[in-house]
Amino acid sequence: MAITKKDLVDEEWIDLVETEPASQSLIPISANYTIAFLEDNQVSIRADCNMVQGTYAYDGTTLTIELGASTMAFCGEDSLDNLFLTLLSQVGFYEKQGGRLNLISVSETITMGFKGGGTVE
């Protein structure tokens, strides 16, 4: 089933699943890592203490995210900001399962799980 624009919402990063090696991690303070899919294929990303703008393109199964302008503050040793942004830049696929959005890497070895925070107008 193809995903439509109404399926892409303001999302909080809740977990990370890797297949090589197999592991699953829950994201502490998921509200610090969000992506909002806006009109005109724009994205607004919160990566802990940094804000990033970018663009996205999608069709029935593929999704690519291109990161653009960003603040560049140091968010602390425990921050996942750099990992979050790196993983978003590697997204190639997506799937919606109930209230969950999965962003899947091009290599299909990493899945970022998101929970919806509401539709972005």
Between 116 and 12, the higher pLDDT residue: 12
Residue at token pair 């294929």: 41
pLDDT at 84 over 70: yes
Q: CA of 53: how far to CAs of 20, 38, 47, 100, in Å?
A: 30, 10, 11, 23
Q: What is the CATH number of domain 5-118?
A: 2.40.128.270
pTM for the structure as a whole? 0.88
Q: CA of 59: how far to CAs of 56, 71, 77, 81, 94, in Å?
A: 10, 29, 37, 27, 10
What are the domain boundaries of the chain? 5-118
- Sign of the CA dihedral running 61, 25, 88, 5: positive
Between 45 and 8, the higher pLDDT residue: 45
Return the pLDDT at 96: 83
Return the pLDDT at 105: 97
What value does the mean pLDDT take over residues 33-39?
Answer: 90
